[in-house]
Amino acid sequence: MNKKFIIIAIIFVICFWIIGIQKRKDYLKHKEKLDNENVVISEESKDPEEIKIYDIEEGYMTVPFNKDADKHNYDWSKLDKTNGIYKYEDSNYTSKLGIDVSSHQGNIDWKKVKEAGVDFVIIRLGYRGYGESGKILKDNYFEKHYEGARAAGLEVGVYFFSQAINLDEVKEEAEFVFKNIENKEITYPVVYDLEKIKDNEARTDNLTVEEITNMSLEFCKLVEEKGYTPSVYGNSKTFTTKMELEKFNKYNKWYAGYPEAGNYDYPLYPYEFDLWQYTETGTIPGVNTKVDINIQFIKK
């Protein structure tokens, strides 16, 4: 009798041991799947602890997950990338095609751009030099690009390339923008673009997260007060490590991320954005240089 009991007990122990091993395998398989989707999960929380992003200079990075920043709900299986021109359509969103330009593009045949299916353009209005003096300059082609785009029937937004290092300089930049778009038909956002200078030092290199956040918020507030739509421009690294992104939930975001650079298919970025600059080496009829191409996600 005791022998039978021992055998049965051993069988039960073996069964539970096998079940435990299988459960552990299932957990590891599930965790590996999530890791492959660029999310590292916490066993104590349904929210990720970290996400993996791609930066064009630093490559793949792991950064903390911001649970307070708004998240997008785009279904990337609905993204059509035929011939390098992105389109999106689902039950909640449709899309428009756009480019952004500056003096680097030179003369543009805007009629051909419009005929190619481009709906909008965001034009560099001006910039602050990244040297010590930080002089504000107007883009040499702004007026020409604006007039040509509007004559061709494109919607127009503007951006200012900032190198401000304090709130007074932000206000100076905003006033410069307002002066130069007065009496112009600006139907797309007025964008604050504060970014790192590639392969060079800049006057903004030592700004803190708090300073960048407060200056970006100030620009957005000033734009909003003037009756325009404010937006901030940035890539994954900027939005996740250089700004308190949750403070911008009410504002539009223009996200820059280039799948061809990091060899990924869709943005490795879970947070809300309405504009996506998906390439800086695009080709559009009417533009004689490589050009940034954007997709806008529009709620139905």
pLDDT digits (tens, 9 = 90+) for 241-273: 999 999 999 999 999 999 999 899 999 999 999
Enumerate the β-bridge partners of residue 296. 96, 275
Q: CB of 263 within 8 A of CB of 256?
A: no
SS3 assignment, position 2: helix
DSSP string, 103-122: GGG-SB-HHHHHHTT--EEE
Quick one: pLDDT band at residue 133, thresholds 50, 70, 90? confident
The reported pTM is 0.84
Is residue 17's pLDDT more than 90?
Answer: no
Q: Is residue 64 part of a domain?
A: no
**Same domain for 293 and 201:** yes
Rounded to the nearest integer, the mean pLDDT of the chain is 89
158 and 266 part of one domain:
yes
pLDDT at residue 4 is higher than 70: no
What percent of the chain shows pLDDT beyond 90? 78
Same domain, 140 and 31: no
Number of H helices, E strands in the chain: 7, 14
**pLDDT (mean) for 274-294:** 98
Residues 6+ apart with CB under 8 A from 20: none
The total number of structural domains that make up the chain: 2
pLDDT of residue 196: 81
What 8-state DSSP symbol labels residue 221? Answer: H
Contacts of 113 (CB under 8 A, 6+ apart): 99, 121, 149, 152, 154, 284, 285, 286, 287
CA dist 264 and 60 (Å) reads 11
CB 245 within 8 A of CB 271: yes
CB environment 57-77: b (16+ within 10 A), e (fewer): eeeebeeebbeebbebebeee
Classify residue 283: in a domain, yes or no: yes
What pLDDT does 200 receive? 80
Confidence of residue 6 (pLDDT cuts 50, 70, 90): low
Lowest mean pLDDT among 27-41, 86-100, 181-195: 27-41
pLDDT value of position 35: 45
Q: How confident is the model over 164-222, as pLDDT tens digits?
A: 999 999 999 999 999 999 999 999 999 999 988 877 889 999 999 999 999 999 999 99
Cβ pair 129, 298 in contact under 8 A: no
Q: On the CB side of 126, how many CA atoms lie within 13 Å of its CA?
A: 18
Q: What is the mean pLDDT of residues 5-10?
A: 55
pLDDT attached to residue 201: 85
If asked whether residues 143 and 187 sit together in one domain, one would say yes
Q: What is the pLDDT of residue 45?
A: 45
**Would residue 188 count as lying in a domain?**
yes
Same-domain status, 215 and 102? yes
Residue 198 has a pLDDT of: 77
Residue 16 structural domain: 2-36
Is the domain of 282 the same as that of 159? yes
Give percent above pLDDT 70 in the chain: 85
Which is nearest to 123 in space by CA: 99, 106, 107? 99
**Residue 235 located in a structural domain:** yes
Query: Within this chain, do residues 159 and 258 fall inside the same structural domain, yes or no?
Result: yes
pLDDT at 26 over 70: no
Question: What is the predicted pLDDT for the residue at 204?
Answer: 92
The two tokens of residue 147 are: 């007039």
- Identify whether 65 is part of a domain: no
Question: Is the pLDDT at 101 greater than 50, yes or no?
Answer: yes
How far apart, in whole angstroms, are the C-alpha atoms of residue 238 and residue 256? 10
pLDDT given at position 47? 75
